[in-house]
Amino acid sequence: MDLLRLDKYSPLPWEKKADGRYWMHVTLGQKDIPLTYLFPDKSGITQKRVEVVTEEGLFNDSVKSVAGLPILLAHPKSRRFNLNRDGLKVGHLLGTIGREDGKLIAEAIIDDYRAVEIIDRLLAEGKTPEASSGYFLKELREREDGIFEQIREEYNHVAAPLLPGQGRGGQNLTLRFDTGDAVVEPLYFLFNNDSEKKEERNVSDLIVKIDEKDQRILKDVADDVKDAITALQSRIDTLTKDLEGAEGKIGELEKENDTLQGRLDAADTTTNTDEDIETQVQARFDAWNEVIPVVGSDKLEIDSKLTPSQIKAAAIALIDPKLNLDDKSDSYIDGLWEGIKDRGSQRKTDRFLTQTKQRTDGVSTIRSKVVANYEGAYRRSRRNASN
């Protein structure tokens, strides 16, 4: 049976090099830390799922993929490292991997100024930078208590340094700046077997070197504080997932906007000339001149955006509401209108053009304003055309 060796750290060294780089360690995972995920079910309703990684899921073949992983400022949207096309790379993991009290730890170098500035600021504030591993699962098992267990298969990248509260797993997954012993003599893990040849030491202290002095950041946290941290981290995980969902929606809207912009750009390449526009306007005007004398202006809602066929369809609907004109072609509607308007249209036209209204104060009658407006516009258009 194959054996996997996770080298010891004695002690866990760290150093800020003379050229500004950081040499340190990254916590890649810890067993039994609850991770909350939100996802939509088949009905589109958001559901919550809690996952943990067990010793079997953390310490297995997946650790072979750790050496040389890129360290990024944030997880890529594609969830995969794509040869730094996103410009997020700030360092990389080295080949030394260790285990400490249920934690998987890897040696790292961070050499990008952006990440160095974040680490400098956090350490000066007495805070610990966090990390979040990007990995793919081999299996996800649901337990009787409804919690899912992760079996990890391959690591892809590490997001770090993250501000406190931003890392998946919170303060449990950090950049390490320890100076004390962390792991005892070489540990060996049997694949597909929980037995081990050595036992780990429990390291409860977190030591950070600030201004060349070792400062104790964390030691033997009380249970109520741990519960509060766990509750806070659960809330952070939920908000992080909501943010990821919002970013996904923004991506969809941006894609839709790009599609609409493409259509707009295509439309701009075929602009109408003044002559084309004048022809279209005249066709609409002529259509209104046809239908108003037949059906009357009081029943029609005049809309300048309607096409000639739509104008005629509106008039036909007033004359014979039972006719279904849905999905009918423009030529069909034009032909139908010619047949309908011939049924006594001359009589209706004469009556309409001589129509008057008696004012209540006894003053002489006036012609329909609609007719007068259209006749005036029609005459002006003809004069302009002749000039």
* Residue 133: exposure state from Cβ atoms within 10 A (0-12, 13-18, ≥19): buried
- From first to last of its 387 residues, the chain has per-residue pLDDT tens of 344 556 555 567 788 998 999 999 999 999 999 988 887 778 888 888 899 999 889 988 899 899 899 999 999 988 899 999 999 999 999 988 888 878 899 999 999 999 999 999 998 888 889 999 999 999 999 999 999 999 999 999 999 999 998 888 878 899 988 755 444 444 444 444 444 443 333 333 344 444 555 444 445 556 666 666 667 767 777 787 778 777 777 877 777 777 777 777 766 655 556 566 777 778 888 888 888 877 776 667 766 678 888 888 888 888 888 888 888 888 888 888 887 776 645 445 445 444 444 444 444 444 455 556 666 666 666 666 555
Bridge partners for 130 per DSSP: 162, 174
What is the signed CA dihedral for 175, 95, 5, 209, rounded to 10 degrees? -30
H helices of 67-200, where?
113-124
Q: Which helix (H) or strand (E) holds 151?
A: strand 148-162
| Cβ contact 114:73 at 8 Å | yes
| Cβ contact 201:184 at 8 Å | yes
| Cβ contact 119:30 at 8 Å | no
Residue count of the chain, please give it.
387
What local confidence, expressed as pLDDT, does residue 202 receive? 34
Phi, psi of 228 (to 5 degrees): -65, -40
What local confidence, expressed as pLDDT, does residue 235 receive? 75
Task: For 209-233, give the DSSP string.
Answer: EETTEEEEEE-S--HHHHHHHHHHH
Q: What is the pTM of this model?
A: 0.47
| Cβ contact 287:300 at 8 Å | no
Task: For 28-80, give the DSSP string.
Answer: EEETT--EEEEEE-TTS-EEEEEEEE-HHHHSSGGGGG-TTPEEESS--TTSS
H helices of the chain, where?
55-58, 113-124, 223-268, 274-295, 308-319, 330-341, 345-353, 369-386
Q: How far apart are CA 71 and CA 283, in angstroms?
A: 66
Task: For residue 383, give both structure tokens.
Answer: 């004069």
Amino acid 33 reads: I
State how far the alpha carbon of 320 is from the alpha carbons of 35, 336, 348, in Å: 66, 11, 16
Residue 239's contacts (CB-CB under 8 Å, 6 or more residues apart) are none
